[in-house]
Amino acid sequence: MSTTLPVVLIVDDEIRSLETLRRTLEEAFEVFTAASTDEALAILQNEFIHVVISDQRMPDMTGVAFLKLVRERWPEVARIILSGYADNADIIAAINEAGIYQYLLKPWRPDALLLTVQGAARLATLQRENELLNVELKAGEPWMRSRVAAKRQQASDAFAMHSIVRAANSPLNRICALLTKVAVHDIAVLIEGESGVGKELLARALHYASHRAQRPFVGENCAALPEQLLESVLFGHKRGAFTGAYQDHVGLFQQADGGTIFLDEIGETSPAFQAKLLRVLQEGEIRPVGSSRSLRVDVRVVSATNRTLADLVQQGRFREDLYYRLSPFAVLTPPLRERPEDIPLIALDLLERMRDSFGLPDALFSPATLVCLQNYRWPGNVRQLKNEIQRMLALADAPVLGPELLSPQVLHAGDESQQQELAFLGSVRGDLKERLDQLESQIIRETLTRHRWNKTRAASELGLSRVGLRNKLVRYGLEPKA
Ligand SMILES: Nc1ncnc2c1ncn2[C@@H]1O[C@H](COP(=O)(O)OP(=O)(O)OP(=O)(O)O)[C@@H](O)[C@H]1O
């Protein structure tokens, strides 16, 4: 599951009610609103929605009829009905026909609504993961077990350390190697790095490299929820623990039992929450809100932050004792601008994944576009790169994605790079032979990086034999470090 916010679509013909719902949910979710079912269907068609909340009484169709349609087309989307009337027939129809997650009565309470939508989003995420695993309900049957095992293997391959795209000489190699080593030991891991650098990707890869791979990986963005809700989401609650707690709720720590829990944006948590988390980690037990019983859980904690946690400790904003609990092993993921050799490879990988859905199965980058992509500084890291490629695909009319499709700041980075190239040429010292050697070494390094250090392809592009290329690598000391 991604710890980017879950996406919720609200459908209601009353604009004021739509806006109130949006305001209540938009802190914790990415929210779309639709004032008609047609508008809602168009959004479902184009967006990746986790939860649909529909009003029951709408002019064009009832909420139940609409959610039935949603269930037929997008069964993985969790469905919630909001109604002003406790009509038994409607409730039974909603449950039977539209398979809804919850029937909420108006006036709803913000905390109850948030909890319900959080639970529904979690369900939708699990359903998506199940879909990935293609686990069918008959998993208990012996013939299914081997299939489930095979599908789990596929999932672990998809999230394996080796599937994290990076160049042969990328600094990520060292990080992946360290995480693979640490994975087999059951210690907590802290992953630091700017937003969008791939911290969650690394956390998942760590999980799948560990002996916990057959158990769940669950994640939560700790910055997305108010303190009390976060506590309830992570540790669970008993029915009646607070207003709006209509039923028992199993927390994520319990859901992750035997597996890994990923606590994203841990640096944003309140002192009170930090104290509770520390107790859970010290005791290996959780106590659901409103419960008098503690439950033992066996969970490996991987946390992430885009701050420097040690600095927050220094500033008195993060508990030192919790910091040491969370970080017996810590890695700093470098931003994309510090590993430009990864950019073309990640860009090509993202393009391959996305081009079909934009109806451009043969799309490829022009060489000038690749140069611009590699020269830009990507403050939003891989997530921003992904958005940029989506934007290009959305604007493109032909398979070759030229630089004219780039957003201005990325395009402009190309200009800067030309200036840099001129500056580089000006900075090269020595006689003509020495300067040409330096240029040759740069060109070979760039070509190899683009070909993921596949020497046959690089040699072919450069018009060299493999032996010829190898000799030059030795001469210029260019062999990548393992
Ligand atoms: N090396 C990579 N190869 C392919 N895709 C990547 C790579 N690194 C990151 N991504 C993709 O970039 C996006 C952002 O990555 P991820 O969510 O892991 O970042 P993050 O550091 O956890 O971000 P945040 O701090 O905002 O939670 C995801 O879609 C992820 O799949």
How far is it, in rounded angstroms, from Cα 103 to Cα 86? 9
Cα 4 from Cα 304, distance rounded (Å): 13
Atom of ligand 1 nearest to the CA of 201: 18
Q: Note the ipTM here.
A: 0.97
- Would you call 30 exposed, middle or buried from its count of C-beta atoms within 10 A (0-12, 13-18, 19+)? middle
Each of the 482 residues of the chain gets a pLDDT tens digit; together they read 344 678 899 999 998 899 999 999 988 888 899 999 999 998 887 777 899 999 988 988 889 899 999 988 888 899 999 888 766 677 777 777 778 888 888 888 888 888 889 888 888 877 766 655 544 334 444 555 555 566 556 566 667 888 899 988 889 999 999 999 999 998 999 999 999 999 999 999 999 999 998 888 898 899 888 888 889 889 988 877 776 666 777 889 998 899 999 999 999 999 999 999 999 999 999 999 888 888 999 999 999 999 999 999 999 999 999 999 999 999 999 999 999 989 999 999 999 988 888 889 899 999 889 989 999 999 999 999 999 999 999 999 998 999 999 999 999 875 655 666 666 777 777 888 888 888 888 888 888 877 767 888 888 888 888 888 988 998 888 876 54
Give CATH for domain 164-334. 3.40.50.300
**The CA-based dihedral angle spanning residues 158, 159, 162, 165, taken in that order and rounded to the nearest 10 degrees:** 90
Does ligand 1 lie within 6 Å of residue 201's CB atom? yes
Distance 196 CA to ligand 1 centre (A): 5
- Residue among 383, 388, 389, 390 whose CB has most ligand 1 atoms within 8 A, to mutate: 383
Cα atoms found within 13 Å of the Cα of residue 223, Cβ hemisphere only: 14
Give the model confidence (pLDDT) of 241-268 as tens digits.
Answer: 776 666 777 889 998 899 999 999 999 9
Measured CA to CA, the distance from residue 463 to residue 470 in angstroms comes to: 13
Cα–Cα distance measured from residue 141 to residue 135, given in angstroms and rounded to the nearest whole number = 12
Q: Which atom of ligand 1 is nearest to the CA of 4?
A: 27
Task: Report how far residue 189's alpha carbon sits from residue 205's, in angstroms, rounded to the nearest whole number.
Answer: 12
Q: Could you please state the CATH topology (level 3) that the domain comprising 337-476 is classified under.
A: Helicase, Ruva Protein; domain 3 (1.10.8)
Predicted confidence (pLDDT) per residue in 315-358, tens digit: 999 999 999 999 999 999 999 999 998 999 999 999 998 888 88
CA–CA separation, 293 and 247 (whole Å): 17
Q: What is the pLDDT of residue 135?
A: 40
| Ligand 1 pocket, residue 3 CB under 6 Å | yes
Tell me the CA–centroid distance for residue 252 and ligand 1, in Å. Answer: 22
* Ligand 1 atom showing the smallest separation from residue 345 Cα: 3
Is the entire prediction scored with pTM above 0.80?
Answer: no
Q: Is the peptide bond before 142 cis (omega within 30 degrees of 0)?
A: no
For the chain, what are the domain ranges?
7-133, 164-334, 337-476
Task: Tell me, using a 6 A CB cutoff, whether residue 339 lines ligand 1.
Answer: no
Q: How far apart are CA 302 and CA 187, in angstroms?
A: 9
Q: Where are the alpha helices (DSSP H) in 396-431?
A: 408-427
Beta strand 400-401 with 364-365 is parallel
How, if at all, do strands 295-296 and 285-286 pair? antiparallel
Compute the distance between CA of residue 322 and CA of residue 277 in angstroms, rounded to an integer: 8
27 lines ligand 1 (CB under 6 A): no
Tokens, residue 413: 């980075």
DSSP 187: -
Q: Which atom of ligand 1 is nearest to the CA of 342?
A: 1
Measure the CA–CA gap between 53 and 62, rounded to whole angstroms.
13
Contacts of residue 352, Cβ cutoff 8 Å, sequence gap at least 6: none
Q: For ligand 1, is residue 305 a contact (CB within 6 Å)?
A: no
- For 348-399, the pLDDT digits (tens) are 999 998 888 888 989 999 988 998 999 999 999 999 999 999 999 999 999 8
Give the residue whose CA is nearest to atom 10 of ligand 1.
Answer: 198
**Do 7-133 and 164-334 agree at the fold level?**
yes
Assign domain 7-133 to its CATH architecture.
3-Layer(aba) Sandwich (3.40)
Which of 166, 382, 390 to mutate to test ligand 1, by most ligand atoms within 8 A of the CB atom? Answer: 382
Distance 201 CA to ligand 1 centre (A): 6
Q: Please provide the size of the chain in residues.
A: 482
Q: Ligand 1 centre and the CA of 378: distance in Å?
A: 13
Does the CB atom of residue 192 touch ligand 1 within 6 A?
no
Q: In the numeric block, which tokens belong to residue 4? A: 């980017």
